[in-house]
Amino acid sequence: MSNLFLIGYRGTGKTVIGRGVAKKMAMAFIDTDALIVELAGKSIPKIFEDDGEEIFRKWETKALEQACGKADAIISCGGGIITQERNFPLLATGIVCLLTADTKTIFKRIFRDGNRPALTNKDPFDEIIHLLEVRAPLYDRAKNFEVETSIKNVNECVDEVIQKYSKFIKKLK
């Protein structure tokens, strides 16, 4: 067994699918966003408001470092974890699953969530398109495999992640 990192843009299902995978595999679940809140002592929107994105990204790396100290865990990472070069060696300590979804699905999922601060001055839908385009090569660089989450239900996504993770582990042996 090895840590499984779930990466991907906001709203692709990292937390909900990660919890499902952890439960089915009887592994610990770690959400780096929750760790950031715990470490910083304030919400993510408040960190962005008070300190800015650069400080948030430092908290994000600290949370990832702490999560990497655990063994055999499912680790849900923030959508921008791949924007910092220093995080790539940390992700490489485990297996990385990229969760993807189409732009409309992402927009529907995150539009309802007030805990996700804007990252650009663009219209929310345009921001998604822009950031997906910018981050795509970084996600591709970090991933070992990917699962598309737009048209499957959570249980189907959980099963697919487990199947691909298990297959990847067998290849390593």
60-106: pLDDT as tens digits: 999 999 999 999 999 999 999 999 999 999 999 999 999 999 999 99
User: Looking at residues 112-139, what average pLDDT do you find?
Assistant: 78
Query: What does the pLDDT read at residue 115?
Result: 53
- The confidence score (pLDDT) of residue 139 equals 98
Q: What is the pLDDT of residue 6?
A: 98
**Residue 165: partners with Cβ closer than 8 Å, 6 or more residues away:** 4, 21, 95, 97, 145
Cα 114–Cα 115–Cα 119 angle in degrees, nearest 5: 95
The predicted structure's pLDDT at residue 112: 59
Which of 25, 34, 97, 100 has its CA nearest to residue 67?
34
pLDDT tens for each residue of 22-40: 999 999 999 999 999 999 9
Query: What is the spatial distance between Cα 55 and Cα 125, in angstroms, rounded to a whole number?
Result: 25
Average pLDDT, the chain: 92
For residue 88, the model assigns a pLDDT of 98
Max CA pair span of the chain: 47
19: tokens are 């919890």
- For strands 145-148 and 28-31, give the pairing: unpaired
pLDDT per residue over 37-60, tens digit each? 999 999 998 999 999 999 999 999
Task: Return d(Cα 30, Cα 163) in angstroms, integer.
Answer: 20
9 contacts 76 by C-beta, under 8 angstroms: no
Per-residue pLDDT, 127: 86
pTM for this entry? 0.92
Q: Is 114 a residue whose pLDDT tops 60?
A: no
- Work out the number of other CB atoms within 10 angstroms of the CB of residue 171: 8
Distance, in Å, from the CA atom of 127 to the CA atom of 101, rounded to the nearest integer, reads 15
The predicted structure's pLDDT at residue 110: 84
Domains of the chain: 4-172 (3.40.50.300)
